Structure 1
Amino acid sequence: MSTAPRSLRSDSWAVSETAAHRVPLPRAQSPMPAVASGPPTCRRAALAAVMRSAKRSLPYAAVAMGRSRERRASARMGARQGTTRRSLASSLSSVSVPYRRPRDRGLESMSESKRPQPSATVVLLRDASADLELLLLQRAPSRKEPHKPGPWVFPGGRIEPADIVGGDAHSEASARHAAIRETGEEAGLCIEDTRLETISRWITPEVSPRRFDTWFFVGVHQGEELVRPDGDEMVDHRWLSPRETLAAYECGELALAPPTFVTVTWLSAYLRAEHAVRELAGQELITFRPHICRDRAGELFMLYPGDAGYEAKDPDAVGARHRCQVVGRGFRYLRGAS
């Protein structure tokens, strides 16, 4: 039996709740005038604005993949991008937009200095009494701001030489090895037998000073094994439902970078862990290469594949929406028809 819709985030999206499924519904958007993409200096300024909005955690890309230990030697990355098996349309079935992934050749022609560092992130889920929960780890405070609490992130980090499969550091197989290793090192959990499903891939915009190519995996944590943060990189952990995570983000208790925010929003559509993994694994996988641009009114957006304005970098284009809008110090995720 369905219940009355409740708004979790009034300025962004509402949540319709039923006994088995919650579906985020995007708010209707007012018509917006057209705008052309600006020169590189303008794009850099826009990226700086995005980073400022995420300042409660870390710069955009670093939070998405999780910083690697400073003592590790950075892996030298290959020049070829692994081919994705499938693409992700969305777990939000009632507002999904059909999307066919274009062939991705971006990393092949990129200079060494511009190539994103390959990395992996793991979203571990478990079932609670009334909802699924996801694992977040708290990073240690940075040396620059030792009195500021560290951000909360998913387990993950850079792909190291020992993780590389077939000579391709950017491949999904290499990322899977790194995901398992990083989860063991950061959270003290052995997930070698956990079925990990690929749900997205995020590549930081070229204008960013630090770039990452991050594969996102999801899996169900089985058994009674306890999370044990390493005490070095990670100092604490929490199991939270997607709704609790977004509520904590809303009130400023937790900081989420755009990839994490989008992933948690997807997961808020499900009540059981296995259901979430099964549904997300069966959908198309999207390689996110955000286009950061402003509309004529000056509003800042990150456009994603499937958005009507994505190819032209025009947030005012009429049609489907798949984007994050920067709102104050946070983000608003929009997906669906215009």
Structure 2
Amino acid sequence: MPEPLNAPSSDSAASVPADPAATIILLRPARQQFEVLLLLRAQALKFAGGSWVFPGGRIEPDDAPGMLLESWDAARIGAARECQEEAGLTLDPDSFLPYSQWTTPELERRRFSTWFLIGCLDEDAEVIVDDGEIVDYQWLTPSAALQKHRQQQLSIMPPAYLTLLELSRLDSIEQARAFAQSREPIFYLPKMIKNDKEVSILYADDVAYHNGDLQQPGIRNRVTKGAQGWEYTHCPASSG
């Protein structure tokens, strides 16, 4: 089983510690494709209020007594519990596959180190949102979710955006599971750069990751908030 991944060294000794968390990318078959479950967080919530997210949340000590909260075992148990609480769905945590791990940028006041897991569901399972933290839900193909985001009908955060972008290139649940199994979970420790009205999220191999110079020539691996939502740029080099 995967072990907790070690985060790169922080550049800021004053950054808020990241709490262990887990989220489940829940897939179901649909019209020879597959759909992903997205939940709408209540607008009043301090973290990601008004955003569409995968089911998930903080890993609690009761999820895995005697285990590290950062561990894979704790993550899959916590993700299953959160899905039950938020969406009324009972899942088998032993069936989950590790997909990625994301840590909130240091500039944020509330930070999480979150396992992203792949899970599957029968087409006819009923979703019942808790009507507290979660106020609505949608089953969408990854491509449809991205289109709604571009049309400003679906607010999502960068981890969900990049996950949906990856899944949109796959044709079936089988391909999604095979893709997850073909790689080690990727650890993301993004950095946020705010420049005038633009926000960029940089990943570790981006040329500007350490110095914040967005115009510097070199590798681009970043998402930027534009008029049509998040836009991903990934190329080996750029003249700027």
Task: Tell me the TM-score normalized by structure 1.
Answer: 0.61
1:217: Cα distance to partner? Answer: 0.8
- Which among 155, 161, 171 is matched to residue 255 of structure 1? 155
CA distance in structure 2 between the aligned counterparts of 1:200 and 1:213, rounded to whole angstroms: 11
RMSD in angstroms over aligned alpha carbons?
A: 2.8
**1:235 Cα shift?**
2.8
Q: How far did residue 153 of structure 1 move?
A: 1.6
1:272 to 172, 177, 185: 172
Query: Unpaired runs of 5+ in structure 1?
Result: 1-81, 85-102
Decide whether aligned partners of structure 1 residues 216 and 335 sit closer, same or farther in structure 2, where only a CA change above 3 A counts: same
C-alpha distance in 2, partners of 1:284/1:193? 19
Cα deviation 1:224-254 (Å, max 9, x = unaligned): 3222222333232211011110111111111
Q: For residue 29 of structure 2, what is the amino acid of its counterpart?
A: D
1:168 pairs, out of 68, 71, 83, with 68
| 1:308 to 1:166, Cα distance in 2 relative to 1, 3 A | farther
Aligned residue in 1 for 2:141: 241
- Deviation per CA, 1:95-116, whole angstroms, max 9, x where unpaired? xxxxxxxx53648x967x8211
| 1:118-154 CA-partner distances (Å, limit 9, x unpaired) | 111111011211422100122334279xxxx943221
Contact 1:242 1:268 in 2 (8 A): yes
Q: In 2, Cα distance between the equivalents of 1:256 and 1:316?
A: 26
Between the aligned residues of both structures, percent identity stands at 36
Change (3 A) 1:336 1:183: same
User: Is residue 325 of structure 1 aligned with residue 227 of structure 2?
Assistant: no
Are residue 128 (structure 1) and residue 30 (structure 2) matched? Answer: yes
8 Å CA contact 2:59, 2:78 repeated in 1: yes
Quote how far apart the aligned CAs of 1:305 are.
2.3
Q: Between 220-229 and 210-219, report the one with greater CA deviation.
A: 220-229
Residues 20-63 of structure 1: per-residue CA shift (max 9 Å, x gap): xxxxxxxxxxxxxxxxxxxxxxxxxxxxxxxxxxxxxxxxxxxx
Is residue 4 of structure 2 the alignment partner of residue 104 of structure 1?
A: no
Structure 1 residues 169 and 205, CA, compared in 2 at 3 Å: closer, same or farther?
A: same
For 1:1-338, what aligned pairs fall within 5 Å after superposition?
83-84=4-5, 104=7, 106=9, 114-142=16-44, 150-164=50-64, 166-192=66-92, 195-222=95-122, 224-293=124-193, 300-328=199-227, 330-338=229-237
Aligned residue pairs total 232
C-alpha separation in 2, matches of 1:195 and 1:278: 14
Aligned partners of 1:220 and 1:274 also within 8 Å: no
When residues 337 and 165 of structure 1 are mapped into structure 2, their CA distance, relative to the original with a 3 A threshold, is farther
State how far apart, in whole Å, the 2-side matches of 1:276 and 1:143 are: 31
What is the Cα deviation at residue 209 of structure 1?
1.2
The runs of 5 or more residues in structure 2 that have no matched partner are none
> Partners in 1 of 2:21 and 2:184 — Cα distance?
21
Distance 1:143 1:290 in 2: 23
